[in-house]
Structure formats: C-alpha cells, structure tokens
C-alpha cells in the first residue's frame, strides 16, 4: 500500500496556488490533425528534418520506456534537462529564499550548493566523516523547523563510495522534510536503488541520469522519481518544453539495457585495472574504494601532477582544494587505451 503525505505544510504556498503555463499541447493532446495552435512554421526546417513542431512537453513515450526499465509507474517519473533541473525545481518548490534552509554533506556534488546560492537558500553543511560516511549526529544538529531538504549523494561524488543505507533510511524515516537521494552512479554499484522504496516513503525523491552508464551525457536528460504529488509539482513549474524532440528521439533509440550493462561491465573491469596499476605508483598514497565510474586518488603533489597531465592533453579533476579530499585527483575511467595513456603519463610525472 502506498504511503501518502500532506505536502501543504512543506510546499511554498504560492507554488501550491500557482496556475501553470498552459502550452498548446496541454489543451490538445492528440497527435493527428492540422496544427494551427502553436505559431509553428508549417513548412518544416531547412534540413527537412521536421523539427518544426514543439516536442511532447511531458515526454510520454520516453517516460513509458524508462518506467518500464525501472519498474515504476510513469506517474512517479519526472524528466528534466539534466538532473540539475530537478535539483533547481525541488528548491523552488520547497524552500522560501532567505527563510528556509537545506542540508548537504560535503564533499559532495557541487550543484546542490550552487543552486541554493542562486536562490538565496541557506546551506547547512554536515560534513561526511574522514572515511566519507554519513555523520548522523552532525546532520540532526543542523536541522531545525526551517529545514526543508536533505541531499544525499550515493554513490557519492567525488568520493565514489556508497553511503550507509541504514543511515539514509534513518534520515528518510525521521526527517519531516524531503530527502533527495542522488543516484547518478547507481548502475556501477551493487546497492539496490531507493526507487524500489518510493511507495513506502512519500518524502523520498530519487535522482538518476542517462549521462553516466547509459552514455548519453550530451542529451542532458535527468530522472527524478517520487510519489505522484511531488511529480505533479515538478511538472507544474518546469519550463513548458524542457526536453527537445531530438533528445527524446535519440534517448528512445539508445535505451538498450544489454548494451548499457555491457558498458557498465567494461567500465567496472577497467576501474579495477586502474586501481591495481595506480597502486604501484610511488606517488600514489591512497585509492579510495569506488562504486562509481571514477576513482578518487590521493597522491603527492596532486596539483602539479594535474598540471603535467594537462600538458599531455589528459584531463582529470583536481579535487585537492575540497575539504577531506586534500591532495586528491578524481580520475574518470576511460577506454582501455585511454587508461594506458594515463598510466604511462603518470609514470613519467615524477
């Protein structure tokens, strides 16, 4: 049985009462007819590709396919222009600027903080422990009656590890606001997705993406899963046509689970290979366990090595200025050839 929640005390009052923009496709949902309602160019486009019509604003076909893959009703799915759109919209829905606050757990994905700063929402930081685990007492210490959102990134970026599932569940069960579990890297992890728990926890939102395991970063399609009342709110305030026809078409053609699983297997094998070979380098001090498609590597003179790699046109992320990630580089797993080039470059960097 699906548990429900009264969102009226959490949602900004004007959002509850907001009359959303009504697009032409909200008024007529059919696919056949002479369309003279949206001020489109009826002749097509210069390349004869026929992208002259506005896209489906609710991405119905794409949602049905993704929902089938994920094993959830399509009514529990929102598609955004990247996960960043969902992050931004959730803050708009639940947080009054300069009044409410949210909690993040650094080191973590940087867009939580950027989005909150754009909207003048107070950010409370409950840092992970030195071994990159959730510090529950620190989180509870930062929460008050103005706290609306908690962001949990698992597997975490930039550290790569799964956060303790029991602790995440404790947050979901005991926090009166919304808990957002960002699972951008879930396909590389052995942990079960929190999507399976949506019916039990009406204050749970799960973020995923087509950018990582599915190899579709260029399409900018992010997924948000939640119970229908939250999905309705996201659809209410999003831009009318937030995902292009081209992105929807290409995504549908590339939702091949067998191919995705094969790529995940290859990337996992290469991650294990990289970890083994990096450990042999005298400059490497520690390689943190990863359940993602990257490794966080602590090494001597990390920033200087980063610069030397750039000179060889090998680009990694310098995370050495991030708290708890001092002297660390975040290295994405590449193709076998790219990984060999990286290792050769590192061997010649000291």
DSSP-assigned states of every residue in 337-350: HHHHHHHHHHHT--
Q: Domain ranges in the chain? A: 7-255, 258-347
User: Smallest Cα–Cα separation from 320: which of 332, 311, 307?
Assistant: 307
Q: Is 127 left (phi over 0), alpha (psi -120 to 50) or beta?
A: beta
**Fold matches, 7-255 and 258-347:** no
User: pTM of the full predicted structure?
Assistant: 0.95
8-state DSSP, 221? E
8-state DSSP, 99? T
Which H or E run contains 229? helix 228-237
In the CATH scheme, what architecture does the domain 7-255 have? Answer: 3-Layer(aba) Sandwich (3.40)
User: Smallest Cα–Cα separation from 213: which of 332, 306, 100?
Assistant: 332
Which pLDDT tens digits describe the chain residue by residue (350 residues)? Answer: 567 677 888 999 999 999 888 877 777 777 778 878 788 888 888 876 788 899 999 999 999 999 999 999 999 999 999 999 999 999 999 999 999 999 999 999 999 999 999 999 999 999 999 999 999 999 999 999 999 999 999 999 999 999 999 999 999 999 999 999 999 999 999 999 999 999 999 999 999 999 999 999 999 999 999 999 999 999 999 999 999 999 999 999 999 999 999 999 999 999 999 999 999 999 999 999 999 999 999 999 999 999 999 999 999 999 999 999 999 999 999 999 999 999 999 998 76
pLDDT, one tens digit per residue, over 81-127 is 999 999 999 999 999 999 999 999 999 999 999 999 999 999 999 99
Structure tokens at 319: 């995370």
In the CATH scheme, what architecture does the domain 258-347 have? Answer: Alpha-Beta Complex (3.90)
pLDDT, one tens digit per residue, over 39-59 is 888 888 887 678 889 999 999
CA–CA gap between residue 152 and residue 325 (Å, rounded): 18
């Amino acid at each position: 049985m699906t548990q429900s929640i009264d969102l009226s005390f959490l949602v900004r009052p004007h959002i509850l009462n907001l009359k959303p923009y009504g697009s032409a496709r909200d008024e007529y949902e059919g696919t056949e007819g002479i369309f003279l309602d949206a001020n489109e160019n009826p002749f097509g486009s210069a390349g004869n590709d026929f992208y002259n019509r506005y896209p489906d604003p609710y991405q119905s076909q794409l949602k049905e396919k993704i929902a089938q893959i994920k094993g959830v009703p399509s009514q529990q799915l929102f598609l955004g222009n990247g996960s960043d759109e969902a992050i931004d919209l959730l803050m708009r829905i639940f947080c009054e600027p300069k009044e409410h606050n949210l909690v993040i757990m650094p080191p973590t994905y940087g867009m939580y903080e950027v989005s909150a700063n754009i909207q003048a929402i107070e950010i409370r930081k409950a840092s992970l422990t030195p071994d990159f685990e959730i510090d529950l007492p620190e989180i509870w210490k930062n929460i008050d009656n103005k706290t609306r959102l908690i962001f949990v990134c698992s597997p975490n970026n930039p550290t790569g590890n799964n956060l303790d599932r029991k602790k995440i569940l404790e947050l979901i069960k005991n926090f009166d606001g919304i808990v957002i579990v960002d699972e951008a890297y879930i396909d590389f992890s052995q942990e079960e997705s929190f999507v399976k728990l949506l019916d039990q926890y009406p204050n749970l939102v799960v973020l995923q993406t087509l950018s990582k395991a599915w190899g579709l970063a260029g399409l900018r399609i992010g997924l948000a899963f939640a119970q229908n009342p939250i999905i309705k709110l996201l659809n209410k305030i999003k831009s009318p046509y937030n995902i292009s026809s081209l992105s929807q078409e290409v995504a549908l053609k590339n939702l091949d689970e067998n191919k995705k699983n094969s790529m995940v297997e290859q990337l996992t094998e290469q991650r294990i290979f990289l970890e083994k070979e990096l450990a042999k380098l005298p400059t490497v001090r520690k390689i943190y366990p990863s359940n993602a498609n990257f490794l966080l590597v602590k090494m001597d003179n990390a920033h200087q090595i980063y610069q030397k790699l750039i000179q060889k046109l090998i680009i990694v992320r310098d995370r050495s200025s991030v708290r708890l990630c001092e002297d660390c580089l975040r290295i994405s797993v590449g193709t076998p050839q790219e990984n060999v080039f990286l290792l050769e470059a590192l061997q010649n960097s000291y």
